[in-house]
A and B are shown apart, each in its own frame.
Chain A
Amino acid sequence: MEGDPQLARFLAALQTETQRQKFTEQVHTLTSRCWEVCLGDSRPPSKLDSKTSTCLQNCVNRMIDASNFMVEHLQKMEKNLGQ
């Protein structure tokens, strides 16, 4: 594979597209969940105020934290089971 720069470029381009798509799907999931959390109960406001913007930003970061936390916890559970 190293001998073929054309192929290497092609595979890199494929990987870039795959990553881009993964990112976009993550944005979809997060937008959907955080919309419910931050704007779920209200009529749509005439503009995104700073409180709602902060809520959305915090929501994204805490969802990722929560996901990481649960992965860690699952790994601990798995370890404990193995003993």
Chain B
Amino acid sequence: MEELMDIEQLKKLTPAQQEQVIAGVKQQAAIANAQNLITDLSEKCTQKCITSPGSSLSNSERQCLQRCMDRFMESWNLVSNTLQKRLQDEASAMPNFGQGGSFN
């Protein structure tokens, strides 16, 4: 990403081009996030629910998958809210320090 952030190049953009760049960044982020989420969701839930595969997908496997996906999305939202709160607390604790809690 850094090599794209050439300030001299960015200065040359017209306002319309600037808007296009922002829209492109947003769209790419949305695609990447959806892909990540789907990959994670299917990995976690098939691992959990498809443990001894039969000749067809059973009702209990379907129910398990459904619950797993619902709980995963709930967990995602809870983690998101918790992280947001943590970052806000840290930012207000040290206002000159920007975003704390870098986690990789």
A contact residues vs B (CB 8 Å cutoff) = 4, 6-7, 10-11, 13-14, 17-21, 23-32, 34-35, 38-39, 43-48, 53, 56-57, 60-61, 63-64, 67-68, 71
**Cβ distance B67 to chain A, nearest Cβ, rounded Å:** 4
Contact of B44 among A13, A27, A35 (CB under 8 A): A35
* A17 in contact with B22 (CB, 8 Å): yes
User: In the complex, what residues of A have CB within 8 A of residue B102's CB?
Assistant: 67, 71
Which of B31-46 touch A at CB < 8 Å?
Answer: 32-33, 36-37, 40, 44-45
Size of B's binding interface in residues, CB under 8 A: 44
Distance in angstroms between the alpha carbons of A1 and B100 in the assembled complex: 27
**A10, A26, A32: the one within 8 Å of B13 (CB):** A10
- B49 / chain A contacts, CB cutoff of 8 Å: 44
B103 contacts A26, C-beta separation under 8 Å: yes
Set of chain A residues within 8 Å of B64, measured between Cβ atoms: 43-44
Docked-complex contact B104 and A31, CB < 8 angstroms: no
Other CB < 8 Å A-B pairs besides A23-B83, A24-B29, 16 of them?
A: A4-B11, A7-B11, A10-B22, A20-B29, A21-B32, A32-B40, A38-B75, A39-B75, A43-B64, A44-B67, A47-B71, A56-B78, A56-B82, A57-B78, A61-B86, A64-B103
